[in-house]
Chains A and B, each alone.
Chain A
Amino acid sequence: MLFSRLTCLLTILLLTVVSGTANAAPADEYVYDAVHSSVSFKARHLDISWIHGRFNEVDGRFSIDREDPSKSSFQLTIKADSVDTANAARDEHLRQPDYFDTKQFPTIEFRSKKVKAIEGGYEVTGDFTMHGVTREITIRLMGGKEIESRGVRRVGFSTELRLKRSDYKFDPSAIGPIGDEAIVIIDCEGMSK
């Protein structure tokens, strides 16, 4: 009698565990595809036009839980040394301590803390670290459509954020002809096997 009750209880427990595991679909993991992505920026010059640049070395990974978006996460690491404004002298100048100080602060990073699904994408709140200063920012990652191409699953996102250099303790004397505000444009694809 006792044995049959115990067997029954164990069966129920086992079934519960198995069904729970089957319901919790794991989040999809993606790595940043450097070939089909770009992180670029533009800043005002003399308040009349824009100077454009990009970062050539970027790494990142995303974890997307379609059923429970709050469990998703996004990470992006940009090598500040890879700044490219199509002018070698200006790039060298930008790497120096008056600007990015790349020998002291080699990376620019974003680490998500909170993800919320919105129409057409996700609203992601996280820590953005640049020039040794970390600030919480919220970005709207638009996209998220997934396709499979040549056996590789791909997902794409786009966002645009506005940052003030003065918020990140850039040398105030270096803010003048080049505007304080920079617009960062991120278009990225993630790959998953």
Chain B
Amino acid sequence: MPDLWLLTSSFFASAICAAAACFAALPRSGRTGSGTGAGPQLAAVGGFAVGVLAGMATQGIAPALPPASGLDRWLLIAIPLLLVVDAACFAALFRQQTRLLRLAAAATAAPVILFGSVHLQVTPELTLLPGLTLGGLLTVMAACGTLAAVTMLADRGSEVSMVWRASGSLLVLQAAGMTVMLGGWIRGGAAALPFSGSCAGILLCGLTLRQPATAAVINRWACWSLSGVVLLGHFFGRLSLLQSGLLIFGAVLPPLVPLPNGLKSGRIRLVVCCLLTLVTLATVLVPAVVDFFVRMRPLLSATAADFIEARHAQILVV
């Protein structure tokens, strides 16, 4: 059974550390709400990285070196690569094609996560390279396409404010982690918490300091984190294709759904967006919770609870 206290501590540790690091890194002018340029966005990226590290340290998540599993590779290769590319784009190291760079960096996460796994060896009769088959190539391409699509949709303009969109993505990210955990992969689902905690911390920091630019950064990072957790949960855990699709696109599509002319006011759009997100989450979470209680719960309770009882009994006997 997951340790709820540890998970909660990890979420709050990452939120507090991310907010503190973002505040410390903000240019002085930015703290009064008059910051311009890339400063606040860079501070948000830096704060996010610090928050994730703090959350992982709290949970005791230490990826293996060299990375052996999909989760290790995502944490050690894909996320640092995305952080560097995102920060470099904000720091205007690449003045042009920043969108393309972000798309490419986001899509790279798919082959990184799937490297060396059985998913690259589906349809072994059509082997292209050692360890890569035609089926595997198609799987990687589909995953890359999904990540690129999420990145594009997360940046697309909408009448719903970026703060609301980031909050929605954050909520879906939490739900994705929970669904992965309910499916039986506790560590994989728990890895979502440092990411959602960091997003929450920076979002609050940005709101407090009136830095709307940070919300766009956080929305993108929440979507990237969500895509990573969902890909891991689908390819290595028990997340079905339907659950994965609903979670990924449930975060990015609701603010972009076209509405009839009469319903286009900002408030109505926001209500529709919230409803769509909540319905999507319910569609994923309710069956996952039912499945957990029917199949997994008896199994887990027969280990963890009995263990505590047995220990207690031993102590009483002694």
Contact = CB atoms under 8 A, between A and B. Distances in A.
B237 A177 contact: no
A169 B70 contact: no
A45 to B, nearest CB: 7
B306 A177 contact: yes
Interface string B275-318: 00000000000000000000110110001101100100000000
Given A48-B310, A104-B69, A104-B236, A90 B304 contact: no
Contacts of B118: 102-104, 106
Interface in B262-281: none
B210 interface: no
Contacts of A90: 299
Given A171-B187, A176-B307, A96 B299 contact: no
Interface in A1-49: 45-48
A92 B240 CA distance: 14
A101 interface: yes
A98 B69 contact: no
Q: Do most interface residues of chain B lie in helix, strand or loop, or is the interface mixed?
A: helix
Nearest to B121: A106
Interface in B106-157: 116-119
Q: Is the interface of A mostly helix, strand, loop or mixed?
A: loop
Interface residues of A, number: 26
Nearest to A48: B310
A98 B185 contact: yes
Interface in A109-140: 132-133
A103 B116 CA distance: 9
Contacts of B70: 97, 103-104
B257 interface: no
B187 A103 contact: no
Given A103-B235, A177-B304, A89 B295 contact: yes
Contacts of A177: 303-304, 306-307
A132 B183 CA distance: 23
B71 interface: yes
A63 B299 CA distance: 42
Interface in B160-188: 183-188
Contacts of B298: 89
Nearest to A173: B187
A171 B68 CA distance: 12
A87 interface: yes
Nearest to A51: B303
Given A93-B299, A97-B69, A103 B307 contact: no
B236 A176 contact: no
Nearest to B60: A173
A176 B184 CA distance: 16
Contacts of A102: 118
B238 interface: yes
Most chain A CB atoms below 10 A, which of B188, B235, B295, B304: B295
Contacts of B238: 92, 96
Nearest to A45: B303
Most A CB contacts (10 A, CB to CB) among B68, B119, B238 go to: B68
Contact of B185 (A45, A96, A106, A169): A96
Given A93-B184, A97-B185, A176 B64 contact: no
A176 B296 contact: no
A78 to B, nearest CB: 15
Contacts of B68: 104, 132-133, 169
A97 B73 CA distance: 13
A178 interface: yes
A46 B64 contact: no
4 closest Cβ pairs, A-B complex: A177-B307, A177-B303, A89-B295, A132-B68
Given A103-B235, A174-B187, 9 more contacts: A46-B307, A48-B310, A93-B184, A96-B237, A97-B188, A98-B185, A98-B188, A104-B116, A132-B69
14 contacts: A45-B303, A46-B307, A46-B310, A89-B298, A97-B70, A97-B236, A101-B236, A103-B70, A103-B236, A104-B69, A104-B70, A104-B117, A173-B60, A176-B303
Interface of B: 60, 64, 68-71, 116-119, 183-188, 235-238, 295-296, 298-299, 303-304, 306-307, 310
Interface of A: 45-48, 87, 89-90, 92-93, 96-98, 101-104, 106, 132-133, 169, 171, 173-174, 176-178
